[in-house]
Structure 1
Amino acid sequence: MTLWRDEALAAVNEVLTQCESNARHHRYSAEVLAAPALAGSLQRLAAERERMAEQLAYQLRAHGDLPDASDSELDSLHELGDRLMARLAARGTAVLLRERAEDERRLAAAAQLALGHAVPGDVRPQLEHIRASAQQAATQVATLVDRDA
């Protein structure tokens, strides 16, 4: 077992943390949105991000490291802002969806950054999958914004 404590590890941990954060943001947003179709889309996306986080955490442990934990206090602050936006006029939904699309763009960027490092070969396919999935999700959520507007 090789211990790879370097920038690659930090970058992979950042992807993991972003997956966890996105999952919570998507799930919470789904709870406060009134539209069932939008909520369902975000719930499915949240479940996918949770699975990705679990897989990355497993891979990090397999390489002898413990995954970082995300900042639950910061997430709670984001959720408060989300609740306020969702309760505003109809544009609150659009603002909330734009933020979820931006979350996905941040995840894709974190995965791309991690791929630029010398990550172990068994982690690389997962990062490539996360990057592609996040890019696709950002586009899909942006489409929901356009459709909802």
Structure 2
Amino acid sequence: MKIGELARATGTRIETIRFYEREGLLPAAERTEANYRIYTEAHVQRLAFVRHCRSLDMALEEIRVLLHFKDSPGEDCGAVNALLDAHIGHVADRVQELQRLEQELRRLRAQCQAIQASSLCGILSELAQGAGSDQASSAPGATDHVPGASCPCPRS
């Protein structure tokens, strides 16, 4: 199948498939005489594996490690367990950060209880006061409030 067919079969953008190839997560496809990539069912399965890992918010390096073990079925899976344990820890940390962010947003929301002129809005006033302070840049989730924002890699 050609790249467009692989994209449709897996619900993955063509640019993402090429990115995963460049990153070594997908093996290079064979090429036709006309230089078209030709993908196999093995590519479909591997791409599905990578996408599932990405849906669990795993980083590319984590996926590389998992693929190594997937490609080496005789190896001990202790490192896989350790990787997942570490990832669970990162997720738990993020959950706590998001809970602190939620509390801060609820506290901020409580600053304005009535519909009034925006010049009197407690939320806007509080945001303006904290805009230049260290509090704004160190607030929970201030720089990475979007899941996966620290990783520039495509998800789909």
Structure number with larger C-alpha Rg: 2
Q: Same fold (TM over 0.5)?
A: no
* Higher helix proportion: 1
Structure of higher RCO (CA pairs closer than 8 Å, 6+ residues apart)? 1
Q: TM-score, normalised by structure 2?
A: 0.28
Q: TM-score, normalised by structure 1?
A: 0.30
